[in-house]
Amino acid sequence: MKQIRVLLGKAGLDGHDRGILILAKALRDAGMEVVYTGLHQSVESIVRMALHEQVDVVGLSILSGAHLALAKQLVETLKENGLGDRIAIVGGTIPPDDIPTLRSMGIHQVFPVGTPLSQIPNDIRALVEKQSER
Protein backbone atom coordinates (compact mmCIF):
# COMPACT_ATOMS: atom_id res chain seq x y z
CA MET A 1 0.00 0.00 0.00
CA LYS A 2 1.28 3.46 -0.85
CA GLN A 3 2.18 5.95 1.84
CA ILE A 4 -0.86 7.90 3.04
CA ARG A 5 -0.56 11.65 2.55
CA VAL A 6 -2.40 13.83 5.06
CA LEU A 7 -2.82 17.60 5.00
CA LEU A 8 -3.62 19.20 8.35
CA GLY A 9 -4.93 22.74 8.46
CA LYS A 10 -5.91 25.45 10.90
CA ALA A 11 -8.59 27.61 9.33
CA GLY A 12 -9.68 31.01 10.53
CA LEU A 13 -8.50 32.90 13.56
CA ASP A 14 -7.86 29.89 15.79
CA GLY A 15 -4.31 30.42 17.05
CA HIS A 16 -3.77 27.23 19.04
CA ASP A 17 -1.63 24.67 17.26
CA ARG A 18 -0.11 22.51 20.00
CA GLY A 19 -2.59 19.67 19.43
CA ILE A 20 -2.25 19.64 15.65
CA LEU A 21 1.55 19.61 15.92
CA ILE A 22 1.38 16.61 18.27
CA LEU A 23 -1.02 14.91 15.85
CA ALA A 24 1.27 15.62 12.89
CA LYS A 25 4.16 13.95 14.70
CA ALA A 26 2.00 10.95 15.65
CA LEU A 27 0.88 10.51 12.04
CA ARG A 28 4.47 10.75 10.80
CA ASP A 29 5.55 8.22 13.43
CA ALA A 30 2.77 5.96 12.11
CA GLY A 31 4.33 6.10 8.62
CA MET A 32 2.17 8.78 7.02
CA GLU A 33 3.41 11.79 5.12
CA VAL A 34 2.05 14.96 6.72
CA VAL A 35 1.74 18.46 5.31
CA TYR A 36 0.84 21.14 7.88
CA THR A 37 -0.52 24.42 6.55
CA GLY A 38 0.26 26.56 9.57
CA LEU A 39 -2.06 28.90 11.44
CA HIS A 40 -4.69 31.31 10.14
CA GLN A 41 -5.38 29.75 6.75
CA SER A 42 -8.52 30.13 4.70
CA VAL A 43 -10.39 27.00 3.69
CA GLU A 44 -9.66 27.92 0.08
CA SER A 45 -5.90 28.03 0.70
CA ILE A 46 -6.06 24.69 2.52
CA VAL A 47 -7.85 23.11 -0.45
CA ARG A 48 -5.35 24.66 -2.88
CA MET A 49 -2.55 23.04 -0.85
CA ALA A 50 -4.43 19.73 -0.87
CA LEU A 51 -4.69 19.91 -4.65
CA HIS A 52 -1.03 20.87 -5.06
CA GLU A 53 0.21 18.20 -2.62
CA GLN A 54 -2.13 15.48 -3.97
CA VAL A 55 -3.08 14.33 -0.47
CA ASP A 56 -5.43 11.49 0.42
CA VAL A 57 -6.81 13.11 3.56
CA VAL A 58 -7.62 16.72 4.46
CA GLY A 59 -8.03 17.46 8.15
CA LEU A 60 -9.07 20.58 9.98
CA SER A 61 -8.27 21.25 13.61
CA ILE A 62 -10.90 23.58 15.03
CA LEU A 63 -10.94 24.92 18.57
CA SER A 64 -12.83 28.14 17.84
CA GLY A 65 -16.40 26.82 17.77
CA ALA A 66 -16.74 27.43 14.03
CA HIS A 67 -16.59 23.72 13.18
CA LEU A 68 -19.98 23.51 11.42
CA ALA A 69 -19.35 26.46 9.11
CA LEU A 70 -15.73 25.54 8.38
CA ALA A 71 -16.51 21.86 7.76
CA LYS A 72 -19.33 22.74 5.37
CA GLN A 73 -17.04 25.13 3.53
CA LEU A 74 -14.29 22.49 3.38
CA VAL A 75 -16.55 19.83 1.86
CA GLU A 76 -18.00 22.27 -0.67
CA THR A 77 -14.61 23.69 -1.65
CA LEU A 78 -13.11 20.23 -2.05
CA LYS A 79 -15.95 19.31 -4.44
CA GLU A 80 -15.64 22.58 -6.36
CA ASN A 81 -11.95 21.86 -6.92
CA GLY A 82 -12.38 18.27 -8.09
CA LEU A 83 -11.30 16.81 -4.76
CA GLY A 84 -14.67 15.53 -3.59
CA ASP A 85 -13.23 12.03 -3.38
CA ARG A 86 -10.70 13.04 -0.70
CA ILE A 87 -11.26 12.02 2.89
CA ALA A 88 -12.25 14.98 5.06
CA ILE A 89 -11.70 14.80 8.80
CA VAL A 90 -12.24 17.30 11.60
CA GLY A 91 -10.85 17.39 15.11
CA GLY A 92 -10.89 19.66 18.09
CA THR A 93 -13.52 21.13 20.35
CA ILE A 94 -16.54 19.40 18.81
CA PRO A 95 -19.72 18.95 20.86
CA PRO A 96 -21.01 15.35 20.61
CA ASP A 97 -24.40 16.62 19.39
CA ASP A 98 -22.73 18.16 16.31
CA ILE A 99 -21.00 14.97 15.15
CA PRO A 100 -24.02 13.58 13.23
CA THR A 101 -24.42 16.94 11.47
CA LEU A 102 -20.77 16.96 10.47
CA ARG A 103 -21.01 13.40 9.20
CA SER A 104 -24.16 14.19 7.19
CA MET A 105 -22.46 17.13 5.47
CA GLY A 106 -19.64 14.89 4.23
CA ILE A 107 -17.03 14.77 6.99
CA HIS A 108 -15.74 11.19 7.09
CA GLN A 109 -14.54 11.15 10.69
CA VAL A 110 -14.66 13.46 13.70
CA PHE A 111 -12.01 13.40 16.42
CA PRO A 112 -13.19 15.39 19.44
CA VAL A 113 -10.80 16.56 22.15
CA GLY A 114 -9.89 13.50 24.20
CA THR A 115 -9.70 11.07 21.28
CA PRO A 116 -6.80 8.71 22.02
CA LEU A 117 -3.87 9.74 19.84
CA SER A 118 -3.18 6.11 18.96
CA GLN A 119 -6.68 5.74 17.49
CA ILE A 120 -6.36 8.47 14.88
CA PRO A 121 -3.76 6.85 12.55
CA ASN A 122 -5.69 3.58 12.68
CA ASP A 123 -8.95 5.31 11.79
CA ILE A 124 -7.27 7.20 8.95
CA ARG A 125 -5.79 3.98 7.56
CA ALA A 126 -9.22 2.32 7.69
CA LEU A 127 -10.83 5.28 5.88
CA VAL A 128 -8.17 5.28 3.15
CA GLU A 129 -8.45 1.51 2.74
CA LYS A 130 -12.23 1.74 2.45
CA GLN A 131 -11.91 4.61 -0.06
CA SER A 132 -9.46 2.64 -2.21
CA GLU A 133 -11.88 -0.29 -2.41
CA ARG A 134 -14.40 1.90 -4.25
Q: What is the pTM of this model?
A: 0.96
pLDDT tens string 54-87: 999 999 999 989 999 999 999 999 999 999 999 9
To 10 degrees, what angle do helices 43-53 and 67-80 make?
A: 40
To 10 degrees, what angle do helices 18-29 and 119-133 make?
A: 60
Backbone angles phi, psi at 121, to 5 degrees: -60, -40
- Side-by-side strand order, sheet with 57-62: 33-36, 5-9, 57-62, 87-92, 109-112
pLDDT of residue 13: 83
Length of the chain: 134
pLDDT of residue 14: 82
pLDDT of residue 15: 86
State which amino acid sits at residue 82.
Answer: G
Residue 55: give its domain's CATH number. Answer: 3.40.50.280
Looking at the DSSP assignment, which residues form a beta bridge with residue 103? none
The CA-based angle 102-85-52, given to 5 degrees, is 105
Give the domain range for residue 76.
5-133
Which parts of the chain sit beneath pLDDT 50? Answer: none
pLDDT of residue 1: 63
pLDDT of residue 102: 98
Number of structural domains (the chain) is: 1
Compute the distance between CA of residue 27 and CA of residue 64 in angstroms, rounded to an integer.
23
